[in-house]
């Protein structure tokens, strides 16, 4: 799946692009079944939400399940990523972020590069975060909020929050968020299950609590250029992949078996 010139320009200008109807209902159903199996595993790679006791984030999925490994390398992710960042990409991280109905908690305002740099010593903000929705995401069930163009300001100062996001997250302070939003507004990324969202490493984003009765699960893969690999190795492999060889695309049909 190739991005057209308008979509490539959107990524460059706004820092994100939303691509509806990428994966079919059948593909999403197969992935959701695999998600249920993954969530039952007792492993530290399943991070539990403090308030509800349910899985909030399941990580290292390409290392744990064939269908998620295939999804990670799927041409619908891999080809756009190659158009944007070239062909030599490794899998930095895979995860499913859930916001359970009624209880799903906030992700504070942040941009991913602050963690990639601060925790893993990734040199430059070149990683791409590629999402696929496993549920319909609406304005009500905790969609991601983006500040368009915020990546153009470089890396906003961040501080380490070890309290409010269930795991340590480098967050952007409110004064900076205020300034960025005043200039560029906020958008929410919503769409049907099977929608893909791609965004860049310096884009400021977050998401609010899910007080609706609808669950919200989103799969995320972070692909990073091989020559921009991590230089610090404090975090476990399920948080930052250690295989720095360029990946190859899986087959278009791999999720339908
Ligand atoms: C993230 O920024 O990694 C997660 C945000 C979300 O899933 O709402
Ligand atoms: Mn993030």
Instruction: Express each pLDDT in 36-56 by its tens digit.
Output: 999 999 999 999 877 778 888
**Among candidate residues 197, 186, 112, 185, the one with its CA nearest the CA of residue 145:** 186
* Distance from the alpha carbon of residue 257 to the mean position of ligand 2, in angstroms: 31
- Which among 128, 131, 156 has a CA at the least distance from the CA of 228? 128
- pLDDT at residue 195 in the model: 98
Q: Which residues of the chain are modeled with pLDDT < 50?
A: none
pLDDT score at 105: 86
Q: Is residue 177 left, alpha or beta, with left meaning phi > 0 and alpha meaning psi from -120 to 50? A: alpha
Q: Is 97 in the pocket of ligand 1 (CB under 6 A)?
A: yes
Ramachandran bin of 189, using left for φ above 0, alpha for ψ from -120 to 50, beta for the remaining angles: beta
Please tell me the distance between residue 228's alpha carbon and the centre of ligand 1 in angstroms: 22
Q: Is the CB of 58 under 6 A from ligand 1?
A: no
- Classify domain 5-225 by CATH number: 2.60.120.620
- Which pLDDT does position 53 carry in this prediction? 80
Residue 253 and residue 194: Cα distance in Å, rounded?
A: 15
For residue 145 and ligand 1, the question of a CB distance below 6 A is answered with: no
Closest residue to atom 2 of ligand 1, CA basis: 206
> Which pLDDT value is given to residue 51?
73
Task: Note the pLDDT of residue 165.
Answer: 64
* Whole-number pLDDT of residue 63: 96
Q: For the CA atoms of 241, 243, 117, 134, what is the dihedral angle to 10 degrees?
A: -40
CA of 101 to the centre of ligand 1 (A): 16
Q: pTM for this one? A: 0.95
pLDDT of residue 167: 66
Tell me how far CA of residue 68 lies from CA of 37, 164, 177, 183, in angstroms.
Answer: 12, 28, 34, 38
Q: What is the per-residue pLDDT for 157?
A: 75
- Closest approach atom of ligand 1 to CA 207: 8
Is 222's C-beta closer than 6 angstroms to any atom of ligand 1? no
Give the pLDDT confidence score for residue 189 in this predicted structure.
98
Determine the pLDDT at residue 163: 74
Buried b (16+ CB within 10 A) or exposed e, 80-99: bbbbbbeeebbbbbbbbbbb
Q: According to the model, what pLDDT value does residue 169 have?
A: 80
Indicate the pairing of strand 158-161 with strand 169-172: antiparallel
């Amino acid at each position: 799946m190739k991005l057209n010139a308008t979509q490539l320009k959107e990524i460059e200008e706004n820092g994100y692009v939303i691509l509806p109807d990428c994966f079919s209902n059948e593909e999403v159903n197969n992935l959701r079944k695999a998600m249920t199996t993954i969530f039952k595993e007792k492993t530290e790679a399943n991070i539990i939400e403090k308030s509800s006791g349910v899985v909030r984030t399941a990580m290292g999925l390409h290392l744990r399940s064939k269908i998620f490994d295939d999804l990670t390398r799927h041409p619908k992710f891999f080809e756009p990523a190659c158009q944007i960042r070239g062909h030599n990409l490794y899998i930095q991280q895979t995860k499913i972020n859930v916001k359970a109905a009624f209880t799903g908690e906030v992700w504070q305002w942040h941009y991913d590069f602050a963690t990639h740099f601060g925790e893993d010593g990734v040199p430059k903000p070149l990683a791409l975060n590629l999402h696929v929705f496993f549920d319909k995401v609406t304005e009500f069930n905790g969609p991601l909020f983006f500040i368009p163009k915020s990546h153009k300001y470089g890396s906003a100062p961040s501080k380490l929050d070890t309290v409010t996001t269930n795991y340590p997250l480098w967050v952007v302070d409110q004064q900076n968020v205020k300034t960025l939003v005043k200039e560029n507004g906020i958008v929410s990324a919503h769409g049907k299950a099977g929608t893909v969202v791609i965004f860049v490493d310096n884009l400021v984003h977050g998401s609010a609590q899910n007080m609706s009765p609808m669950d919200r699960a989103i799969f995320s893969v972070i692909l990073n250029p091989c020559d921009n690999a991590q230089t610090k190795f404090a975090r476990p492999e399920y948080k930052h992949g250690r295989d720095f060889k360029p990946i190859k695309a899986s087959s278009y049909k791999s999720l339908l078996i």
